[in-house]
Amino acid sequence: MKLNLIEEKVQTELEIILIKDKEITENKDILEKIDFKGEEDSSALLAELGKLYVGCGEPTSDNIRVAVASAMRTFGKTNFNDASIEADENLREVVEGIELGSYEFTKYKSKKDDKIEKTINIVVKKVDEKTIEIFEDAVNLSNSVNMVRDFVNTTPEDFYPKIMAKKAKKIAIENDLEIKIFGEKYFKEQKMGAMSAVGRASRHDSRLIHMAYKPVDAIKKVVLVGKGLTYDSGGLSLKPADFMVTMKSDKSGGSAVLGIINAVAKMKLPIEIHAIVGAVENMIGGDAYKPDDVLTAKNGKTIEVRNTDAEGRLVLADCLCYAQDEIEDFDYMIDYATLTGACVVGVGHYTTGIMGNNLELNNQLQQSAIASGELATVLHFNKYLKKTLKSKIADICNISNTRYGGAITAGMFLDEFIEEENKQKWVHCDIAGPAFVEEVWGCNPEGASGAGVRFTIEFLKNLMEK
């Protein structure tokens, strides 16, 4: 999609008109005949007139974004080559709706559409410095989300730890970021026994990726840590067939972290960002780690493995230790992971579960999510659930002894690897639900959504205002 930002309306084949609060002002008769009332989630294409009406209900930020995204899906299916839309006060939402709504993943289709690239003219009152900045920020953010979607949608045969590191390198070169990539030898030296065990049975060696964006005018320092399971078969505690499908999406946390640092660098935000990704494939084989093993994490804590499918927390444990050992004086540390099915059961597949010891910080992230058009809710730790992680033979067990509250117990497992001085700086985001949904929803396509990127950018932007 080609986007033009203009002041004067130009003639285009199609005009997209958002109907706010069901207020239809033109072509009333014909729209009435086809029973179009301008309600939320409804649209009417009057092809002969070159008009596409889209209902958005109450014109909230998110409703506008979603309505524009749905207009893009309709526009995409037609043979109209160009369209126009008015943006005024909602330029950001309109641009995001266009870019996020027109995303398609066609890598594996043998017959690609040979349609020419379509153009959208966005009409605003004035094309000044401010509007250009809003426009460019929205484009950079949306492109980063779409990049994450591409990563996550790519199959495990084409996207394994080494490829994830290669993608990170490309982002680093493009944005002039620092990057370090570590392999098995480093894990051994650093005694990262948890992460190392998870990847052992895979034919693809694991990677720990550490990228840094260090602007000279940085006002805050934020560490992002992502679960990058390029495939999660469950390991020897093998997943049932139906549950294994879509597990290419278990790299969504790590991919989000790559998308966030890319967006921050492109938007030139004055915040130092460290992006850490544990890229690992969880497989079966003679060399696989086993239920009954006891692993030692980087901080010396021992972990009794009772289920090899609770692998994400093992990878994150070592990555969180790495971050705290290697990065000094950070203000916040946020991790992203498709960590538990329990989180999806608990809050539904559209919502991120936010956890941590700092309630105010948790709430801030939740607010950022709502403002950005993502959904998130806070889940609270408690001392009773914490006890369910006790092990008889090691310091802690990798699964809880109860089948209830699985998202929270996973979060509290991670908490064991957060040093006392960082307890209030850390937040855990379980994106197992929204990261990958097999249906179109909001401005998300079927498949990967890029969850986490938009709400984190919102959170970071808010830090600048404090």
Segment lying near Zn ion (by CB under 5 A), choices 76-84, 222-230, 291-299, 348-356 = 222-230
Q: How many CB atoms lie within 10 A of CB 284?
A: 15
Active-site residue (options: 73, 162, 239, 306)? 239
Q: What are the residues whose beta carbons fall under 8 Å from the beta carbon of 9, sequence distance 6 or more?
A: 84, 121, 123
Among 456, 422, 453, 464, smallest CA distance to 218 is for 464
H-type helices in 28-90, by residue range? 28-33, 61-77
Q: Which does 190 bind (CB under 5 to 8 A by kind): Zn ion, ligand BES, none?
A: none
Q: Which does 192 bind (CB under 5 to 8 A by kind): ligand BES, Zn ion, none?
A: none
Q: Is 312 in the site for Zn ion (CB under 5 A)?
A: yes
Of 205 and 309, which has the nearer Cβ to Zn ion? 309
One character per residue 427-456, x = contact with ligand BES (rule: CB under 6 A): -----x------------------------
Of 99 and 309, which has the nearer Cβ to ligand BES? 309
Q: How many CB atoms lie within 10 A of CB 117?
A: 7
Residue 297 token pair = 């994490």
Q: Is 250 in the site for Zn ion (CB under 5 A)?
A: yes
313 is catalytic: yes
Segment lying near ligand BES (by CB under 6 A), choices 205-213, 254-262, 307-315, 439-447 = 307-315
Integer CA distances (angstroms), 204 to 163, 187, 281, 385, 423, in order: 10, 15, 7, 36, 34
**Do 434 and 352 meet the contact criterion of CB atoms below 8 Å apart?**
yes
Integer CA distances (angstroms), 12 to 52, 82, 83, 193, in order: 12, 6, 5, 60
339: left (phi over 0), alpha (psi -120 to 50) or beta: alpha
Element (H, E) at 406: helix 406-415
Helices 453-465 and 252-267 cross at an angle (nearest 10°) of 40
200 is catalytic: no
Interacting residue with ligand BES among 62, 96, 309, 318 (CB under 6 A): 309
Q: What are the residues whose beta carbons fall under 8 Å from the beta carbon of 403, sequence distance 6 or more?
A: none
Segment lying near ligand BES (by CB under 6 A), choices 17-25, 212-220, 297-305, 337-345 = 337-345
Separation of first and last alpha carbons in the chain: 36
Q: How far is the CB of 17 from Zn ion (least distance, A)?
A: 44
List beta partners, residue 43. Answer: 54
∠ at Cα 347 (343, 353), nearest 5°? 60
Q: Which does 342 bind (CB under 5 to 8 A by kind): Zn ion, ligand BES, none?
A: ligand BES
Segment lying near ligand BES (by CB under 6 A), choices 35-43, 198-206, 260-268, 305-313 = 305-313
Q: Is 232 in the site for ligand BES (CB under 6 A)?
A: yes
List beta partners, residue 53. Answer: 17, 44
Q: Which does 5 bind (CB under 5 to 8 A by kind): Zn ion, ligand BES, none?
A: none
Q: How far is the CB of 149 from ligand BES (least distance, A)?
A: 16
Of 220 and 306, which has the nearer Cβ to ligand BES? 306
Of 214 and 403, which has the nearer Cβ to ligand BES? 403
Interacting residue with ligand BES among 141, 399, 437, 460 (CB under 6 A): 399
Q: Is 232 in the site for Zn ion (CB under 5 A)?
A: yes
Segment lying near Zn ion (by CB under 5 A), choices 7-15, 48-56, 229-237, 388-396 = 229-237
Interacting residue with Zn ion among 137, 309, 318, 374 (CB under 5 A): 309
By the criterion CB under 5 A, which residues form the site for Zn ion? 229, 232, 250, 309, 311-312
By the criterion CB under 6 A, which residues form the site for ligand BES? 232, 250, 307, 309-312, 338-342, 344, 399, 406, 432
User: Active-site residues: which are they?
Assistant: 239, 313
